[in-house]
Amino acid sequence: MADIKAAAAAYNTAANITSPGANFMNGGVAADVGPDFAEMVGKALGDVADSMGRAESHSLNSLSGKATLDDVAVSLTGAELSIKALLGIRDRVISAYQDIIKMPI
């Protein structure tokens, strides 16, 4: 359950960072808008890697009898949600890039 909450929190953080009008302008000068894009992508990749690592360790513990199948299912679901959130971010970035490329100079 903690993995699912962590995945949902990561998705919400990414959604809030990219929301329009999030402290962008302050009297004509750009204000602090939060982490830059590279930090956001790095954190998302780190979260996916962490959730995949937890799922893998739960799977291995299940084989040795130290974890239940419920633990494995929950951790795999959390990893799946993390991956889906990351893919959603990737799709939005690609879409934005394609829109920028189509703009006339």
- pTM flag (> 0.75): no
Tell me the average pLDDT across 2-31.
56
| 59-69 per-position pLDDT tens digit | 999 998 888 88
104, two tokens:
């006339």
For residue 89, pLDDT beyond 50: yes
Residue with tokens 């990351």: 86
For residue 102, pLDDT beyond 90: yes
Backbone angles phi, psi at 17, to 5 degrees: -65, -40
- CA–CA distances in Å: residue 65 to residues 2, 7, 19, 44, 68: 21, 26, 45, 31, 7
Candidates 4, 2, 13; CA nearest to 81 is 4
